[in-house]
Amino acid sequence: MVLGALLCVLIITLLRVEFPWHRAARRSYWAASISIYGAMMATYWGAQFIPSALISVLFGISPIVTSVRCFISTIFY
């Protein structure tokens, strides 16, 4: 995950993309990172016990779950 984050920072820097760092944006980033980290940790642990096809479905819906958490965090905070 750290490698992916560093790659994103490098691309943003090279392309000179303005990246929002205001309070609402930081809260959204926090909600997304916690959601993805928790989902991946649980999925890797569960991979011992469930078929790989179900794991691929879980990874496929991860962006949707992250989007919902970000939406909820912007409403309540």
What is the tens place of the pLDDT at every residue in 41-74? 887 888 889 888 888 887 788 889 888 988 888 8
On whether residue 3 sits in a domain, the answer given is: no
Cβ count within 10 A of residue 53: 8
Question: In total, how many domains does the chain have?
Answer: 1
Q: What average pLDDT does range 19-34 have in this prediction?
A: 88
Residue 36 located in a structural domain: yes
Q: pTM of this prediction?
A: 0.52
Burial class (CB in 10 A: 0-12, 13-18, 19+), 58: middle
Domain that holds residue 33: 21-76
In a domain, 7, yes or no: no
Residue 1 lies in a domain: no
Residue 26 included in any domain: yes
48 belongs to a structural domain: yes
The whole-angstrom separation of Cα 69 and Cα 31 is 6
Q: Is 5 part of any domain?
A: no
